[in-house]
Amino acid sequence: MKIYRKIALYVLLLFVGSLTVFPFLWMVATSFKSMGEVFRLPPTFTSSALFTDRMWDNYRTVLDQHNFLRYVLNSVIVAGSAALGQLFTCSLGGFAFARMKFRGKNIVFGTLLATMMIPVEVTIIPEYLLMLKLGWYNTYLPLIVPSMLVGSFGTFLFRGFFENIPSSIEEAAFIDGANPWQMFYRVFFPNAKPVSASLIIIAFMNNWNDLLRPVIYLESNRLYTATMGLMQFKGAYGAQWHLLLAASVVSVIPLIVVYISLQKYFVSGMLTSGSKG
Amino acid sequence: MRYGKVAPWLFITPTILGLVFFRIGPIIAAFLASFTSWNVFSPPQWIGTSNYVELFNSGTFWMILRNTLVFSLMYVMGVMVCGLFLAILVNNRLRAITFFRGLYYLPVITSTVAIGVVWSWILSPRFGVLPNVLADLGVHNIPSFLGDSRYALLTLVMVYIWKMSGYHMILFLAGLQNIPEEYYEAAKIDGATRWQSLRHITLPLLSSTTFFIGIIALIQSLQSFDITMAMTEGGPNYASATLSFFTYINAFVHFRMGYASAMSFVLLIIVGVITFINFYARKYWVETVD
């Protein structure tokens, strides 16, 4: 590649990168400012509180007086259980759809795919009424159970992966007398580590970021997830940008840390699912 | 039938439960509920098509339907253009390219609420950084991006496109990487310019990916509840409300479950019709390698 072209490409990459990164930097920068500095014109990037005792004041307020740590922990519980649940459901389903023959298979799988298109707004009202009937209102169950049981995307992902495993492995295990569960649990599932990692991350992220269900189902403040806590905080402290942005940083940091440490699974997971489409 | 007849059904039991209780069951229930007057606290009353009549006679509904179409159209076009641009950009073999891929994907993993908060702050009139930069550049009469009913919806779409372009970048990238390298080499030997390669090789061979992305983007745009909730709550005066947000307001703020169900069914029909047209049109514009 010619050197000029290379330089031009890097300039472009950095320019687009700065458009992506700026809001994040601005979020962090504002989170260290005092109320007065937020409303100073023209806006400045740095805060006078940086590297002084006052530096963490906004974070202290957010974490001590508003319990954001609790919200983050709640999100970990909700998103973690939903993701593990989805791993279980989707890997089992994907295995059955990929390797087993049974009557009605195509109908069930077709329904699963067709209902993928249906907006959540259509199903959420009856779902809400069902949750009220079950007495699950103001618990985590409505946040976990629906997302755990219908993972069209994950099932699709696992089905694609299991279909490509050569049947010679299956034959050998059958000769050794493996039953269907052992076949799945001992032979197929251990091979699916990359798919499992991608699914867990994507499911974790989706559930972490979900807003609709927490808004509808959670009433007690102590049950709030990080996104819900932030939403409520926005309503209550609309103009106190310094606190609001500190709260935003707290609510996004855990996910960004997970993302950076497991980045290759994110992108490869998305690539696999994309090319299957 | 080496797995027997029972095992497959045991394996898909969770999936079946999910389908019955959280997909098919609710769709049927929502359809029936759309013919009732129901406020959760008292039993539903059958009122025939009254909800639909009220809906189609409501000026707000038509305005919101228009908002929804504007939002969806701009979103779908926006993320496809930006996503493809980013994908072509990060499909270059360069050092640190995976770093840039990961970077562009960052807004996708960040919660819409946090994105909404920071963009509301950046765009906020008077003290926000963007109005100040525009003023420095000599722009006069800068509108309130979120407070002005002419710009609120537009601003929401822009922010959402900013957030989601990375997602579509990855999908396009998967498609680009499936195009055999030889095609480009052959074109190069024939003296094709980069633009000609893009126009005559990349775009035609990418058409099945483009089709898939179009549908995904459309569905995302029709479910754009989070961004509306986080930035404008539909305001001012429903100017930035879309069908999904309006459904939420009617169901969970006004507790008009029947009316909201009718609305959600209109949404479902729109999704259905567009998906159907797209699938039908597919054979006319999608080309495959073989």
Alpha-carbon B69 to chain mean position: 11
CATH H superfamily, domain A72-218+258-276 = MetI-like (1.10.3720.10)
Q: Summarize pLDDT for A117-153 with one digit per residue, the tens.
A: 788 889 999 999 999 999 999 999 999 999 888 888 8
> For residue B216, what pLDDT band results from cuts at 50, 70 and 90?
confident
Chain B residues near residue A93 by CB distance under 8 angstroms: 11-12, 14-15
Q: Where along chain A do its domains lie?
A: 72-218+258-276
pTM of the model: 0.89
Task: Please calculate the CA angle A24-A25-A30 and round it to the nearest 5 degrees.
Answer: 100
Residues 188-227 of B with CB under 8 A from A: 209, 212, 215-216, 219, 222-223, 225-226
Question: Average per-residue pLDDT in chain A?
Answer: 86
Specify the pLDDT at position A277. Answer: 34
Task: Summarize the confidence of residues B107-124 as an average pLDDT.
Answer: 92
| Å between B230 CA and nearest CA of chain A | 7
**Cβ of residue B9 closer than 8 Å to a chain A Cβ:** yes
Q: Write the pLDDT tens digit of every residue in A25-53.
A: 999 988 888 877 878 777 777 777 777 77
The C-alpha of A262 sits at a distance from chain B's nearest C-alpha, in angstroms, of 11
> B273 in contact with A at a CB cutoff of 8 Å?
no
Cβ-based neighbour number of residue A134 at 10 Å: 12
How many residue pairs bridge chain A and chain B with CB atoms within 8 Å of each other? 284
The CB density around residue B211, as the number of other CB atoms within 10 Å, is 17
Spell out the residues 6+ positions from residue A181 whose beta carbon is closer than 8 angstroms to its own: B7
Q: Which residues of A touch B170 (CB under 8 A)?
A: 267, 270-271, 274
Whether B155 and chain A come into contact, CB under 8 Å, resolves to no
What is the pLDDT confidence band of residue B290, given thresholds at 50, 70 and 90? very low
Provide DSSP, A197-260.
Answer: HHHHHHHHHHHHH--HHHHHH--SGGG--HHHHHHHHHHHSTT-HHHHHHHHHHHHHHHHHHHH
Q: How far is CA B38 from the centre of its chain?
A: 30
Q: What is the pLDDT of residue A271?
A: 61
Checking if the pLDDT of B210 tops 70, the result is: yes
How much is the ipTM here? 0.87
The Cα B288–Cα B59 span in angstroms is 45
In CATH, what is the architecture of B52-285?
Answer: Orthogonal Bundle (1.10)
